[in-house]
Chain A
Amino acid sequence: MISVQNITKVFTTKSGPLTAVDHVNFTIDEGEIFGIIGYSGAGKSTLIRMFNGLETPTEGSLTIAGKDITNIRGKELRLARREIGMIFQHFNLLWSRTVRKNISFPLEIAGVPKDLREKRVEDLIKLVGLEGREDDYPSQLSGGQKQRVGIARALANNPKVLLCDEATSALDPQTTDAILDLLVDINRKLGLTIILITHEMHVIRKICHRVAVMDSGKLVEIAPVLDIFRQPKEEITRRFIGQVTEPEETKETIEHLLEKYPDGKIAKLSFIGDVAEQAIISRLIREWPVTVNILQGKVSQTRNGAYGTLFIHIVGNSSDIEAAIDFLNQNQVGVEVVQND
């Protein structure tokens, strides 16, 4: 449905040309929730802004539903933009308008008659769960409520695509989850294609079907979310995954244990899908004469299945430990022995 071909954006700055997006290629299916993750300055913001012509690419093309967005101008571009909703990190609501009037704004732009506008606004207020706040001004709302207004506004003209520019980055963790649930709900109900950019792996893990990783303007990795968790190819991807699977204190605990128990081995196990739900560890202990000390474990749910990580400390004689690790490997468990640096 969406095809990005060789898209490149070079900015001219005082210190010379800066390539923000560097020959990026990918496609997005209809009804998909597609995530783009990268640190700030990776070019993801520039990339998403090219989807609705807020930035024009230096090179390449971007086709949405058969229409090349990159070489249309004026009225045609304005009409195309009505089919692409966008929500923002800082909500970008008009403070001078009430919730109702803010949601009504894109309908006014599209020239929808007043009675139809009012009806549509009522429906949208229900869809995003803002009943009772219709006549409030944005300054009276919390961050999460403001983003709900943003979402309702973005959906007003029944777009085919919703662009989310760091839509949850200004929200606290609980509100973030509520907004993500709303996005999934909308995706299911309306079959809307959602493209989101973020620097939080949590967001990708929770709602995306596929993810693209960006680093210095280049797309370095693209895969279904569970595959990325299972087999990250790039170092940067591993770091993003670490955000959700390895809390900071785990690293400290492991360092401490490596010092304290030079014998034995510390291993990071990763379980995918059904395996994550099986009793592998109890079988391990029963079948091999080793002691297992569980240090840290976590199961994360993604859109395409569960992904678990477990840090264990295995003590025993070295041949038994080797055999135990072989057993784990045979059972489709990823094993990574953590070394003392």
Chain B
Amino acid sequence: MIETLFSNVDWDKAWEKTVETLYMTGFSLVWIFIIGIILGLLLFLTSEGNLWQNKFINWIISAVVNIFRSIPFVILIVLLIPFTRVLVGTMIGMKAALPALIIGSAPFYARMVEIGLREIDKGVIEAAKAMGAKTSTIILKVLLPESMPAIISGITVTAIALVGYTAIAGVIGAGGLGDYAYLDGFSRNQNDVTLFATILILIIVFIIQFIGDTITKKIDKR
């Protein structure tokens, strides 16, 4: 039944493309997580009334984050071509997509981290200060644990958006399920391949959402 419905699907190739999508998503997600948390913390800490209050630095980071968040992803890939060439040495393949994926999504995630940090009760930070805590202790033992549900749900949303970005990157030669749907499906007029690639992407998205929701629920003790 499935064999006849998706008669043009090459199963080995579909699997290979799925792995490519997962690789691109997973690898860039790790970097986005790290960069996003650092930027989010900086945005929060340098904002008015906080530990490292600094209008100038806050303005700079804010501006950079807003600029990269506003550029449409397709255009960002093209803009980053020279940078990618220097960094990765090539313009095609999965690796070439990574810089654009990370730079395109980290600022978005940083904003979500910042929002999560803002929701922490100021009184709790003050209590930690009153106990004689260093800023590093406040970051590691108060700010991050207290905003963890927002950090996790934020990375879930980002991961899902990222799956979409890998598909766009795929169309211009990065591999993955987007590439499969576009080249093998659309270009060769094989609608069943496009449909199958779409189903695989949906499954990936559902799994990410499920994992994210489960973890958020488990750690949220509010």
Contacts and interface: CB of A to CB of B under 8 A. Distances in A.
Contact of A110 (B128, B132, B222): B132
A155 to B, nearest CB: 11
A65 to B, nearest CB: 16
Contacts of A88: 123, 126-127
Nearest to A107: B131
Nearest to B127: A92
A122 B130 CA distance: 22
A139 interface: yes
A54 B126 contact: yes
Nearest to A84: B130
A97 B137 CA distance: 15
Contact of A79 (B124, B129, B132, B221): B132
A54 B129 contact: yes
B131 A82 contact: yes
Given A54-B129, A109-B128, A109-B133, 14 more contacts: A52-B130, A54-B126, A80-B132, A81-B131, A92-B121, A92-B123, A92-B124, A93-B124, A94-B124, A96-B219, A108-B141, A109-B132, A110-B132, A137-B221
A110 B128 CA distance: 12
B146 interface: yes
Interface string B117-157: 00001011011111111100100011001101000000000
A299 B130 CA distance: 39
A319 B145 CA distance: 76
28 contacts: A52-B130, A77-B132, A78-B132, A78-B133, A79-B132, A80-B132, A81-B130, A81-B131, A88-B127, A90-B123, A92-B121, A94-B124, A94-B145, A95-B146, A95-B222, A96-B146, A96-B148, A97-B145, A105-B131, A106-B131, A109-B132, A109-B134, A110-B132, A137-B221, A139-B221, A139-B222, A153-B131, A157-B131
A251 B145 CA distance: 53
A219 interface: no
A276 interface: no
Residue of B132, B148, B221 with most chain A CB atoms under a 10 A cut-off: B132
Nearest to A108: B141
Contacts of A105: 128, 131, 141
Nearest to A137: B221
9 tightest A-B CB contacts, nearest first: A81-B132, A92-B127, A92-B123, A78-B132, A137-B221, A106-B131, A96-B145, A82-B132, A86-B130
A138 B123 CA distance: 15
Interface of A: 52, 54, 77-82, 84, 86, 88, 90, 92-97, 105-106, 108-110, 137-139, 153, 157
Residue from B131, B134, B148 having most chain A Cβ neighbours under 10 A: B131
B146 A94 contact: yes
Given A108-B141, A109-B133, A86 B127 contact: yes
B221 A95 contact: yes
A92 B128 CA distance: 9
Interface in B189-213: none
Interface in B148-183: 148
A14 to B, nearest CB: 13
Nearest to B219: A96
Contacts of A79: 132
Contacts of A138: 221
B145 A92 contact: no
B124 to A, nearest CB: 5
Contacts of A95: 146, 221-222
Contacts of B121: 90, 92
A109 B145 contact: no
A81 B128 CA distance: 10
Contacts of A78: 132-134
Contacts of A93: 124, 127
Contacts of B221: 95-96, 137-139
A94 B219 CA distance: 13
Nearest to A75: B134
A339 to B, nearest CB: 47
Contacts of B137: 108-109
A88 to B, nearest CB: 6
B207 to A, nearest CB: 26
Nearest to A77: B132
B220 to A, nearest CB: 9
Q: Which of B123, B130, B141, B145 has the most CB of A within 10 A?
A: B130
Contacts of B222: 95, 139
A92 B126 contact: yes
A153 B133 CA distance: 14
Contacts of A139: 221-222
Contacts of B127: 86, 88, 92-93
A97 B121 CA distance: 15
Nearest to A96: B145
Contacts of A94: 124, 142, 145-146
A88 B125 CA distance: 12
Contacts of B123: 88, 90, 92
B73 to A, nearest CB: 34
